[in-house]
Amino acid sequence: MTEQPDVATLSYEEARDELVEVVARLESGAASLEDSLALWERGEALADRCQRVIDDARERLAAARDAVESPEDAPEEDE
């Protein structure tokens, strides 16, 4: 296998696309046992990266939603 970028530096789209390639290579059954194990490990790392990016995005959306909906942050009205 060739030198690959660190999974932590990949965007969601890059990690997802590489994961699709890894799965296709594993499903083809053409890789040796050693290569298959390396592909599996890489696939696990890529899947974890995708999940972390999704989880972070959900947290950011929830924080943004809470900031908009929070009455504590609303300016007080003068009557």
Q: What count of other Cβ atoms lies within 10 Å of the Cβ of residue 42?
A: 19
Q: What is the residue-level pLDDT of the chain in tens, covering all 79 positions? A: 568 999 999 999 999 999 999 999 999 999 999 999 999 999 999 999 999 999 999 999 999 999 988 766 556 666 5
